[in-house]
A and B are shown apart, each in its own frame.
Chain A
């Protein structure tokens, strides 16, 4: 190995005028967190709605929900981002297309939407699975109590289904943080992009990616610990999933 190690590189001034290389990695981290957090909100809201519809009694609504899931789940995220960013504005009427192209922070907005839709399809499948995992009697009991269908979902099915799928949703949170790195392909300067530009400017490739790896690891660990605490906090004593995080339910 003929490599000139230089761990002090992080404190040297980065050429982009924003302070040291360390500062530019941190700024990349902030973009990563912002992208992942906003996309996660979109994913959770849309995913819950679509996932619920897929288990409902209306055949056509369920089919549309299935189509939505298949569309967003089966196209690679990299391709989706490219389509949203480069192809969609060209398909619009010229004025709207030009307005889209001149938007400030276009890469960020595109990345958030694209990542949000992609992950929402995955969340939808988990929500449906969680609802279907409940005993059939739960739904019937809701009807027997005189609850309407929305009320049955709101007070009986969803609170239990969500508790069941917390471990798999935790996985999705970890995945969305890592998937946000795909946004570098449309020019968002997130953490991986910052590490890449650091290695291009300084040729200290191993230092740059070691730092990025450790930062991703720290963020994922924090997210997973937080999710486990949430699961503990929401656990219903005696309910099937209490403590599943401990019993290999992840």
Chain B
């Protein structure tokens, strides 16, 4: 276990330096010394974090991250703070976070208890639900309607995981197709390879809104699970976590959030000038009133039956 030794040495060195300089430790110290903060951004998580037609990154999560940046800059008393944007994918966000390449991940990452063993999350900034998108012609309203059909979800997502478990638990006989990414999964429904696509409702809405025939698709009323999204940061860095928590809580409780939310979810957004038309859910309104970084779905809503079954199995 050489690695452990190295880690121990690094930790010890960090402690020594930490006690020698000011009170800042970890990420805050790094930001103060270098004058740089690096944000991990996504290419295609519309409207959270994406590349627009001018080849610049923008989105709801990036706006929220910039609030954190401003607040951290104030706290450290820096006259200028250089913000670097570093593109990440779902596969690279963890290694880049662990090795210090990025300080915050501003995307659409689900906060759950398992992931909290590896990283920390800022207070929840969006609450989505796992739902079913299908063509209206297919008349799919509930999970039971999917019996014996082909259903796609994106590989490596919590949604696919849940669908797999429900399929096994309730003997639905669904053929589950894993797709490489959201766009490809949607393509499978569009071309008829799958009857339905199970994913976070907000992502489904955005894919449908940007498709060739938005009115062909519908999203189920029935929710399979509740998923809180949060901005991700390194674990075991209490000082930085506190700074991030304070910044996000301020945005939520001061009403600032309403302006930012409306900008991305209620008004037309680039590149196509299409509006998401997604009013704030009651679940998220509750978080705005009382910010939380809990990874337990029960902290956000009455947990759907489908999710309860899955959570019970794990305990």
Contacts and interface: CB of A to CB of B under 8 A. Distances in A.
Interface string B133-177: 000000000000000001010011110111011011000000101
A186 B179 CA distance: 7
A17 B165 contact: yes
Contact of B155 (A13, A193, A206): A193
Contacts of A101: 191-193
A184 interface: yes
Contacts of B157: 200
A17 B168 contact: yes
Contacts of B191: 86, 89-90, 101
A104 B149 CA distance: 11
Interface in A81-108: 86, 89-90, 98, 101-102, 104, 106-107
Interface stretch (B111-119, B198-206, B221-229): B111-119
A197 B119 CA distance: 18
Given A5-B4, A187-B178, 18 more contacts: A1-B100, A2-B100, A4-B118, A13-B314, A15-B162, A86-B187, A101-B191, A185-B180, A187-B152, A187-B177, A197-B155, A199-B156, A200-B91, A201-B161, A202-B114, A203-B114, A203-B118, A206-B95
Contacts of B4: 5
Nearest to A102: B150
A42 B33 CA distance: 59
Interface of B: 3-4, 7, 10, 90-91, 94-95, 97-100, 114-115, 117-119, 150, 152, 155-158, 160-162, 164-165, 167-168, 175, 177-180, 184, 187, 191-193, 234-237, 314
Interface string A1-38: 11111100000010111000000000000000000000
Contact of B118 (A13, A16, A186, A204): A204
B113 to A, nearest CB: 11
Contacts of B234: 2
B180 A184 contact: yes
Contacts of B98: 1-3
Chain B CB within 10 A, most for which of A89, A106, A196, A200: A200
A102 B180 CA distance: 19
Contact of B179 (A106, A187, A203): A187
B193 A15 contact: no
A205 B95 CA distance: 7
Given A4-B235, A89-B191, A201-B114, A104 B156 contact: no
Given A16-B161, A200-B156, A205 B180 contact: no
A102 B161 CA distance: 23
